[in-house]
Amino acid sequence: MKAIKSFIKIPLYGLLILTSVLSLGIPFWWSYPLELLSHFRVYYLLLSGGLAIAFFLAHLHQQRVRLALLISLALVVFNGTWIIPWYLPHPQPAAGDLVRVLAFNINVANDQWDAIATAVRSVNPDIAVLMETSPEATAELSQRLGNVLPSVYRTSGGGLTILSRFNLISPESKQLNGGTILSTSLQINQKVVKVVAAHPIVPVKPNLFHRRNTLLAEITTDLQQQSQKSLIFLGDLNLTPWSPYYNRFVRRTKLHNTRLGFGIEPSWIEAATHVRYPRWVTALVKLSIDHIFVSSDIQVVSCTTSKAANSDHRMLWSDLTL
């Protein structure tokens, strides 16, 4: 019996050590591939909670695991401090013009134009930014959505398309060292709003990791130099709120993530016909990598996601007041 108990405790202690390293090391992991581990903060919270339960049960059976129990509880609290704020209300006044903004990575392999257009219509956005759009996708979708989102612009590179109910003022593609960003102004009633969109590359290799971080740094500089007070920045950033690069971006730009107060709302990954991940991966891996940010003068009324149109990403949209 003693041997069996030791056999069970050894993997539990191993998991405790691993969870401790993963949980505490995230803020310091700026290099590849360690930074990729930062995106699973929610899973570290769940793992530390499971360990706390396991050690508590062992403690009830007279096992000497008090220190391990205390450590696992401390990890629950530590990881929880990163997660809980996303669910706490952020009360903001709702007076002003209501605008709905949509961010949706349709996936470059997805050609179900009718389904995509129907999904966008179901949200009824005033501004929609679509990512991974080919020239064909932009043409097909603008044809189907032209009566509700008549103003359309696609970047010369980067696969970014904006469709808007409002007129686009001086839309442009900005080619930076790390990639392309979309930049335009909108006249929304009596207010001019700057909209910037980006889709940094997936950081699955060291050189791509460097390109993503380069573009994030360039976007940060670009946003800091914006002369217009009202700003909306959105896109698939291939970055979760747990990454040190995300925290640096928010700290320097002082932008507000519209998810705050409405939950983590994972946006990737979803099962789709063109997705080759095993079913268990699409069922278990849920990451918040699509984002909508706003400047301090714009208030957030709501933020939500929805699976749609055979994409591996969920649609993300927010109601804003200007």
pLDDT tens digits for range 121-169 = 999 999 999 999 999 999 999 999 999 999 999 999 899 999 999 999 9
Instruction: Supply the pLDDT for residue 89.
Output: 87
Residue whose pair of structure tokens reads 């209501």 in the numeric block: 98
| H or E segment to which residue 295 belongs | none
Domain boundaries along the sequence of the chain: 2-87, 98-321
> Among 36, 80, 47, which residue's Cα sits nearest to residue 244?
36
Instruction: Supply the pLDDT for residue 136.
Output: 98
| H or E segment to which residue 203 belongs | none
Are 296 and 256 in contact, with CB atoms under 8 Å apart?
A: yes
241, two tokens = 């709120």
| Residue 24: Cβ within 10 Å count | 13
> Among 287, 223, 226, which residue's Cα sits nearest to residue 255?
223
Torsion of CA 229, 101, 301, 217, to 10 degrees: -50
Question: What are the phi and psi torsion angles at 303 (to 5°)?
Answer: -155, 130
256, two tokens = 């507000």
pLDDT tens digits for range 19-44 = 999 999 988 899 999 999 999 999 99
Instruction: Supply the pLDDT for residue 4.
Output: 40
Instruction: Supply the pLDDT for residue 227.
Output: 79
Instruction: Supply the pLDDT for residue 94.
Output: 63
Q: Which residues pair with 104 in a beta bridge?
A: 130
Residues in the chain, pLDDT under 70 = 1-7, 91-94
Instruction: Supply the pLDDT for residue 6.
Output: 60
Between the two ends of the chain, the Cα-to-Cα distance in Å is: 67
Residues written for the chain:
322
> Among 167, 173, 169, 168, which residue's Cα sits nearest to residue 154?
173
Are 200 and 191 in contact, with CB atoms under 8 Å apart?
A: no
Ramachandran class of 261: left when φ > 0, alpha when ψ lies in -120 to 50, beta otherwise: left
155, two tokens = 């970047």
Instruction: Supply the pLDDT for residue 1.
Output: 38
237-266: string of b/e by CB count within 10 Å (b at 16+)?
Answer: bbbbbbbebbeebbeebebbbbbbbbebbb
What CATH class has 98-321? alpha beta
E-only strand ranges, 165-255: 168-176, 179-188, 191-198, 231-236
SS3 (DSSP) at 14: helix
Q: What is the rounded CA–CA span in Å between residue 57 and residue 186?
A: 59
SS3 (DSSP) at 227: coil
Instruction: Supply the pLDDT for residue 5.
Output: 59
Instruction: Supply the pLDDT for residue 3.
Output: 43
